């Protein structure tokens, strides 16, 4: 796992992918931060910043994950990985943690934005630190879900572009399913769709509630998709 | 060292491999010969644990590849048909990555240096793989297989796409490796296995049709009965003479021309060396013979001749494959 993790990290920085990801992420995060807080003055609230940021992840995360397994498949390097004495779980985990490192690192850099608020906020109107930390933890967890989904989808195709587009579509559906759920008249189905919705759970965090069941939910969904990725390789061997 | 028993690989209703069994002993260089699509790569991929078999077992040094894949994979170095290279890495980074991937315990610096010297890539060590020529890439692929000093090295068509000089170098390299490794090499080029291997396993349509020492196969090929002869003379009469001549079972005019000479392909009766006799006959008629060469056998011919020469003792020797052999013998019998 270590070897794959190190290779992935190196690949992010020897190819443009890592830089593109960081630049796009930081640029978007900063401009949204500016628009939702500083520009709005008294009416500003953090709820809006985090909500918009999570929707931006839809286009940002696939940059990180579209290559992960599709490239290996296309270049036939997966043959090297799968005939090496490493486990499939280790291989998937190496890719996942590399993408998580990139994502978390960049997210933490973007958190520097908050410095401006603390510096310039009016006396007595300092933002709630706990809420900011909680929201960042939630963002990391949601990102983990998206990355796991992205890695899973990239293991299904050798076409990077297809992987990226499908990932965007899947994440989008998962995010907005909470809104769509309200349109479903049949109660049980509405509850199920709501339960799946990533956004509904995220919104608790933006209100400043640290929801442990949501943490568990995000971790399980991440694990589920990583597990499925492993199954894809198992399946292909036996197919 | 490697034992393959009753290996079957089925894709839907198609059998890529149909009941293959053979063993490779320690220190042997075994050539795996067959036309494209015969099942060579499938076998290699199963041997290395990349694919699984539908049924049958593969044991590497007594370790079942399905039961203890990690242990078995540690013993194998594999060069797939297309070398598994990361183009965005330098040779140095790549080999270090493979070193980590295989979890080697050897002295890193010294071992990588040795491997590079063996495959002669020391001078491109710091270069990006993307910028290397096909020949160098192939060698980096071989270097990758050698890392960790595995006991068994498996090459899947290692010389495809290389120029003649590189082919000779790679063959020499494989022969050198054979001194202290067990090597399996797949190819569809007969001279390649003849040049390198101790033993040849011939596969066609997912079945093993011969498993012989290289000398035996070479002999089968040298028992060549087909010649291209270049004769100056009236075409129709020459052809009629060739056809009528005793000792010749088949004659045919080829499209090839050389001045007033025409090339004919003839096939002699088994066990008859027609060449001297033919020369005197032509001399008598006053038709100069200006060229005579044995026709190299292609894979199909070798298959046929292997089956024809197979005889009873071979069949007994491989009683396990009896069923499939007989089936092919019958097909071959028509020729």
The per-residue pLDDT for B259 is: 78
Which residues of chain B does A234 touch, with a Cβ-Cβ cutoff of 8 Å?
Answer: none
DSSP assignment string, B47-92: HTTSS--SEEEEEETTEETTTSHHHHHHTEEEE-SS----TTSBHH
Neighbouring residues of A186: CB distance < 8 A, sequence distance ≥ 6: none
B150 lies within 8 A of chain A by CB? no
* Residue A43 token pair: 């009416």
Q: Are B143 and B119 in contact (CB under 8 A)?
A: yes
The tokens for B256 are 């090839």
Question: Which residues 9-48 on chain B approach chain A with CB closer than 8 angstroms?
Answer: 11, 45, 48
Number of A/B CB contacts below 8 angstroms equals 69
What is the DSSP secondary-structure string of B214-283? HHHHHHHHHS--EEEEEEES-HHHHHHHHHHSTTEEEEEEEEEEETTEEEEEEEEPTT---HHHHHHHHH
CB contact under 8 A, A76 and B82: yes
Q: What percent of chain A has pLDDT over 90?
A: 53
The distance of A156 to chain B (nearest Cα, Å) reads: 17
* A74 reaches B (C-beta below 8 A): no
Distance CA A42, CA A45 (A): 8
- Residue A127, C-beta contacts closer than 8 angstroms, at least 6 positions apart: A46, A114, A117, A118, A121
Cβ distance of A85 and B78 shorter than 8 Å:
no
Give, to the nearest 10 degrees, the angle between helix A160-181 and helix A187-196: 130
Tell whether A91 is within 8 A of chain B (Cβ): no
Q: Is the pTM of this model over 0.95?
A: no
Beta carbons of A79 and B49 less than 8 Å apart: no
What element of type H or E holds A113?
A: none
* B223 vs A238: which has the higher pLDDT: A238
A91 or B211, which is more confident: A91
How high is the pLDDT of residue B269?
80
Tokens of A67: 């290559």
Read off the DSSP letter of residue B100.
Answer: H
H or E element, residue B290: strand B289-294
Name chain B contacts of A85, Cβ cutoff 8 Å: 69-71, 73-74, 102-103
CB-nearest to B88 from A3, A15, A82 is A15
Q: Do A80 and B144 touch (CB under 8 A)?
A: yes
A89 contacts A231 by C-beta, under 8 angstroms: no
CA distance A98 to A9: 6
The shortest CB-CB distance from B78 to any of A3, A6, A83 is to A83
Picking from B50, B87, B100, the nearest residue to A79 by CB comes out as B50
State which residue of chain A sits closest to B12, comparing Cα positions. Answer: A239
Range with the poorest average pLDDT among A78-92, A122-136, A159-173, A224-238: A122-136
For B327, how many CA atoms within 13 A lie in the half-sphere containing its CB?
A: 10
Q: Tell the residue number behind the tokens 């572009």, with chain if given.
A: A161
CB contact under 8 A, B85 and A2: no
Q: Does the distance separating the beta carbons of A77 and B85 come in below 8 Å?
A: yes
> Average pLDDT over chain A, rounded to whole?
88
Write the DSSP symbol of residue B128.
B
Q: How many CB atoms are located within 10 Å of the residue A106 CB?
A: 21
At residue A18 the predicted structure's pLDDT band, cuts being 50, 70 and 90, is very high
Q: Which of residues 2-61 of A touch B (CB under 8 A)?
A: 2-4, 6-7, 10-11, 14-15
Lowest mean pLDDT among A3-12, A84-93, B147-156, B284-293: B284-293
Burial class (CB in 10 A: 0-12, 13-18, 19+), B280: exposed
Name the residue in chain B with its Cα closest to that of A91. Answer: B101
Gap between the Cα atoms of A216 and A85, Å rounded: 32
Query: ipTM of this predicted complex?
Result: 0.87
CB atoms within 10 A of CB A168: 18
Print pLDDT tens along chain B (335 aa).
899 999 999 888 888 888 899 899 988 999 988 888 888 889 999 999 888 888 899 999 889 988 888 899 999 999 998 999 999 999 999 999 999 999 888 899 999 999 999 888 999 999 999 999 988 999 999 999 999 999 999 999 888 878 888 888 888 888 888 888 999 999 888 778 888 888 989 888 888 888 888 777 776 666 667 788 888 888 888 888 888 888 888 888 887 777 788 888 888 887 777 888 888 888 888 888 888 887 766 556 666 666 555 443 444 444 434 444 444 444 433 33
CB contact under 8 A, A75 and B86: yes
The shortest CB-CB distance from A85 to any of B51, B52, B74 is to B74
CA–CA gap between residue B156 and residue A84 (Å, rounded): 16
Q: Residues A145-191: pLDDT tens digits?
A: 999 999 999 999 999 999 999 999 999 988 888 778 788 888 888 88
pLDDT mean over A67-90 = 91
**B80 close to A (CB below 8 A):** yes
Interatomic CA distance for residues A82 and B45, integer angstroms = 10
In terms of CA atoms, which chain B residue is nearest residue A71?
A: B86
A124 vs A26, residue with greater confidence: A26
Whether A82 has its CB under 8 Å from any CB of chain B: the answer is: yes
- Is B31 strand, coil or helix? strand
More confident residue, B160 or A11: A11
Rounded to 5°, the CA angle B221-B222-B228 comes to: 95
């Amino acid at each position: 796992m270590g070897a794959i993790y190190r290779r992935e990290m190196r690949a992010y920085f020897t190819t443009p992918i890592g830089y593109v990801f960081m630049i796009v992420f930081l640029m978007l995060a900063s401009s949204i931060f500016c628009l939702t807080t500083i520009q709005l003055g008294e009416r500003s609230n953090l709820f809006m910043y985090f909500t918009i940021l999570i929707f931006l992840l839809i286009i940002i995360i696939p940059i990180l994950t579209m290559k992960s397994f599709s490239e290996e498949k296309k270049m036939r390097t997966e043959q090297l990985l799968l005939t090496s004495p490493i486990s499939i779980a280790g291989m998937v985990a190496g890719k996942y943690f590399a993408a998580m490192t990139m994502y978390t690192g960049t997210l933490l850099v973007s958190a520097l934005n908050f410095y401006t608020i603390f510096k310039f906020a009016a006396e007595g109107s300092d933002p709630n630190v706990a809420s900011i930390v909680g929201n960042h933890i939630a963002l990391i967890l949601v990102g983990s879900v998206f990355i796991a989904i992205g890695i899973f989808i990239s293991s299904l195709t050798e076409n990077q572009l297809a992987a990226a587009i499908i990932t965007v579509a899947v994440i989008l559906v998962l995010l907005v399913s909470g809104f769509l759920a309200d349109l479903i008249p049949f109660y049980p189905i509405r509850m199920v769709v709501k339960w799946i919705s990533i956004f509904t759970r995220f919104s608790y965090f933006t209100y400043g509630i640290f929801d442990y069941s949501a943490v568990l939910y995000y971790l399980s969904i991440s694990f589920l998709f990583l597990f499925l990725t492993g199954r894809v390789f198992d399946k292909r061997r036996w197919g | 060292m490697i034992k393959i028993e009753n290996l079957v690989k089925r894709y839907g209703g198609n059998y890529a491999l149909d009941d293959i069994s053979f063993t490779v002993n320690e220190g042997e260089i075994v050539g795996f010969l067959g036309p494209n699509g015969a099942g060579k790569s499938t076998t290699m991929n199963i041997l290395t644990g990349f694919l699984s078999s539908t049924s049958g077992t593969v044991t590497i040094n007594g370790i079942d590849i399905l039961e203890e894949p990690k242990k078995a994979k540690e013993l194998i170095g594999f060069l797939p048909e297309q070398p598994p290279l990361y183009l965005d890495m330098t040779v140095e980074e790549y080999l270090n990555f493979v070193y980590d991937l295989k979890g080697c315990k050897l002295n890193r610096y010294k071992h990588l240096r040795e491997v590079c010297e063996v495959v002669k890539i020391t001078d491109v060590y710091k270069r990006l793989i993307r910028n290397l020529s096909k020949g160098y890439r192939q060698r980096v692929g071989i270097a990758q297989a050698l890392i960790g000093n595995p006991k068994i090295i498996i090459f899947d068509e290692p010389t495809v796409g290389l120029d003649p000089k590189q082919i000779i170098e790679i063959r020499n390299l494989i022969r050198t490796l054979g001194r202290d490794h067990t090597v399996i090499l797949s190819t569809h080029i007969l001279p390649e296995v003849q040049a390198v291997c101790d033993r040849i396993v011939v596969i066609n349509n997912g079945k093993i049709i011969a498993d012989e020492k290289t000398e035996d196969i070479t002999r089968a090929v040298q028992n060549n009965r087909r010649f291209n002869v270049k004769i100056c003379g009236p075409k129709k009469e020459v052809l009629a003479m060739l056809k009528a001549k005793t000792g010749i079972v088949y004659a045919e005019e080829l499209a090839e021309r050389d001045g007033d000479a025409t090339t004919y392909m003839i096939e002699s009766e088994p066990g008859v060396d027609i060449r001297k006799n033919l020369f005197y006959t032509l001399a008598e008629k006053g038709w100069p013979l200006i060229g005579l060469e044995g026709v190299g056998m292609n894979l199909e011919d070798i298959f046929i001749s292997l089956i024809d020469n197979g005889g009873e003792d071979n069949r007994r020797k491989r009683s396990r494959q009896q069923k499939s052999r007989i089936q092919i013998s019958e097909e071959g019998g028509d020729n």
